[in-house]
Amino acid sequence: MCSQYLVIDHHAVHVKDSIHTEYHPQSQRPTKVDKFEEYNDTPPSEPPDIGPEPWSPFGLRTDFEFAEIALAAALTKDQVDSMIQLIGHVVQGQDSFNLKSHHDLCATWNAASALATPVATLYKPISI
């Protein structure tokens, strides 16, 4: 179905109850106005064929899953590089990894804080 819009001197004219679309100047596409009733009146497209390896272009599914976690956590370049280096050491047998859950991590932090941060409470008697 063709969209209806009016172009005068390379500018689209606004029509009541219409959708006005302006493209980035470098696209060199003219501004257009679609009737509201016809805007996005296209049949849904078929989902793309993702094939047997939906994680492509990543070489492995694990690489894709790592990338998803890094993106969701908003890791910086340096943090991603550090995590990849750490994982590489474990994979190559240069080190091991014992944490199994967030609970394990928190328990380890709590144990470390007891060793590194001694706390003393001093009481000053108050006469009443």
Note the pLDDT tens digit of each residue in 81-101: 999 999 999 999 999 999 999
pLDDT level of residue 56 (50, 70, 90 thresholds): confident
DSSP assigned state of 89 = H
Extract long-range pairs of 4-10: CB within 8 Å, 24+ residues apart.
4/34, 4/35, 4/38, 5/32, 5/33, 5/34, 6/33, 7/31, 7/32
Mean pLDDT of the chain: 83
Confidence of residue 36 (pLDDT cuts 50, 70, 90): confident
User: How large is the average pLDDT for residues 57-77?
Assistant: 95
Lowest mean pLDDT among 3-12, 52-61, 76-85: 3-12
pTM reported for the whole predicted model: 0.53
Q: Which of 34, 27, 36 is nearest to 13 (CA)?
A: 34
- 11 pLDDT band, cuts 50/70/90, is low
Domain boundaries, the chain: 1-43, 52-103
